[in-house]
Amino acid sequence: MEFAHISVLLRESVDALMPERGGVFVDCTAGGGGHSEEILKRLPPHSRLISLDRDDRAVERCRERLAPYGAASTVVKTNYSEAAQVLDALNIGAVDGILWDLGVSSVQLDEPERGFSYSSDAPLDMRMDRSGGRTAADVVNGYSEEELRRIIRDWGEEKFASAVAAAIVRRRAQSPIETTFQLADTVASAIPAAARHKEKQHPARRTFQAIRIEVNDELTLLEPSLESAIARLAPGGRAAVITFHSLEDRIVKNTMKRLESPCTCPPDFPVCVCGKKPSVKVLTRKPILPAEGELSDNPRARSAKLRVCEKL
């Protein structure tokens, strides 16, 4: 199967990493391999890229796509939270650039049977790593109404979370909710008509996002992953992170800000006594957004933001 994969903020993110300098680079979320291939194109001889993904199909796709680059490319099936362990296993110390392209990938969206999209009917799965773990159906049919309300409110930022959670519980009491269309219809029925009419996208979008995040532990893993990977950057090395919704972006922004200004002394102290020193310099005071041309070519880029920091 061929994927309609268009890498978001491709030029901007790879430019920020400056792979032309050479060294070792890590793509923590390889997906369809677009960012990885662009990095490899720009690497000078004797440099190396480590590409990570927890999705079996993405790993297979990347290995095929990046095979022409030979020993310069290493693709590993793992969660991005294990980046430091992968580097240890490969006997790699410091690295020169790290990229995260967060959220669901084109590899996953373009396989309807994966259950990520409300646009195609499929079993409720949503696992990025299909080798085990809970599915979206487990969450939808097994979580309490309060748990559903919490994740739909917190992970989906859905203001009608209480109504959506109650509708899910009522529907599953009749029979389990097993497909994406069943879930999408249930969510849509819980959103007031006036709010539905104002929506430019499907009213189930936020609930699907919330359940996907819960299934894959996306937000709980993000901050520690950023910290541990950035700690492996050599001086002058850069970390670039592409996010697709406000929850991810807030974590990335706050993590970089804290690493840049870690001092915990009260503001009225004349000098720092906590001893915490900055470890990075944030290079994007405001996030880099897709250009109009990219938005026209790739609607999935509409919510993307890129933030970059450099190791001191």
| Residue 306 near residue 288, CB atoms below 8 Å | yes
Distance between CA atoms of residues 58 and 64, nearest Å: 10
- CATH fold of 10-107+219-311 reads Rossmann fold (3.40.50)
pLDDT bracket for residue 308 (50, 70, 90): very high
Percent of the chain with pLDDT over 70: 98
pLDDT single digits (tens) 34-79: 999 999 999 999 999 999 999 999 999 999 999 999 999 999 999 9
> How sure is the predictor about 7, in pLDDT bands with cuts at 50, 70 and 90?
confident
Query: Looking at domain 117-216, which of 3.20.20.60, 1.10.150.170, 3.40.50.300, 1.10.530.10 is its CATH number?
Result: 1.10.150.170
Beta strands in the chain (DSSP E): 24-27, 48-53, 73-77, 95-101, 233-243, 280-282, 305-311
**Which amino acid belongs to residue 234?**
A
pLDDT of residue 5: 55
Compute the distance between CA of residue 208 and CA of residue 183 in angstroms, rounded to an integer. Answer: 9
Domain regions of the chain by residue span: 10-107+219-311, 117-216
- Express as a percent the part of the chain with pLDDT over 90: 81
pTM for the model:
0.92
Please tell me the distance from the alpha carbon of residue 280 to that of residue 282, in angstroms, as a whole number.
6
Indicate the burial class of 297 (C-beta count within 10 angstroms; 0-12, 13-18, 19 or more).
Answer: exposed
Q: What is the mean pLDDT of the chain?
A: 94
**Mean pLDDT score, 286-311:** 91
How far is residue 108's CA from residue 111's CA, in Å, rounded to a whole number? 6
* pLDDT at 15 > cutoff 80: yes
Give 62's Cβ-side CA count (13 Å radius). 32
